[in-house]
Amino acid sequence: MKACPVIAIDGPSGSGKGTIAGILAARLDFSLLDSGALYRAVGITVHKSRIEISNTKQIIEIINNMDVCFQYNDVGRIFVDGEDLTTLIRSELGGQMASKVAVLPEVRGALLDKQLAFRAGPGLVADGRDMGTVVFPDAELKIFLNANVQERAQRRYNQLIGKGIDATLPDLLRDLKERDRRDTERPVSPLRPGKGAVIIDSTDLTIQEVVDQVLTLFSTVASRPY
Ligand code: C5P
């Protein structure tokens, strides 16, 4: 196995990727790449600056000058150019704006190096839509985590209500379906399992069960128990 092994975890919104990736990174003492947060940071900055999605040149300028910093503590804070934008970035607006800028090939290209820079010893857990297909096609382990859309909407609803944020299940279900469609149908880096990816359906699994499955798979790849 390479000095900096990568576990790539791809899947649709609400499949549990983020939670699972965070637990795995902490457990293995690996770095963590939340690539969705990078797309969200771009989307929110574009929104705040009132730039049209069609203005690719200006969006790329934003990306090239943008400093995104992650603080992985209790809530996982995200700072853009020193400003704490965690709440906005994690909002539904953040998700929708992210998926709008994510269809632009220039945006994906400009974010590639930033993502590759997360690969460091002793290893990386990378969470997103194209980790196993485009960003880390040589990942030691590729997981495609899925769950049915009703279950994913319900999880998101529970998460938001738990945080005291207003939400309705029909609205969340509609937004998730719209985002799924945009992510899977875009011509550049569409959401799909990478070559050799193990597909896990988390609909009826607990977080711990998914984590255990991934650790068992990684132990096989690494030829040592985790
Ligand atoms: O994973 P998360 O919900 O934070 O991602 C937000 C959006 O960013 C996704 O719906 C997708 O459009 C985009 N994204 C992407 N490629 C990634 C990660 C996220 O296109 N690697």
| pLDDT (tens digit per residue) in 161-182 | 988 888 999 999 999 999 899 8
Structural domain boundaries of the chain? 1-30+122-215, 34-120
Q: Residue 194 is which amino acid? A: G
Å from CA of 35 to ligand 1 middle: 7
Q: Span 1-30+122-215: which CATH code?
A: 3.40.50.300
Q: Which CATH architecture has domain 34-120?
A: 3-Layer(aba) Sandwich (3.40)
* pTM exceeds 0.85: yes
Atom of ligand 1 nearest to the CA of 18: 1
Ligand 1 neighbour 45 (Cβ under 6 A)? no
| pLDDT (tens digit per residue) in 103-157 | 999 999 999 999 999 999 899 999 999 999 999 999 999 999 999 999 999 999 9
Ligand 1 neighbour 12 (Cβ under 6 A)? no
* pLDDT band, residue 193 (cuts 50/70/90): very high
Q: Identify each DSSP E strand in the chain by its residue range.
A: 6-10, 31-34, 68-71, 77-80, 83-84, 124-128, 141-146, 198-201
Atom of ligand 1 nearest to the CA of 100: 12
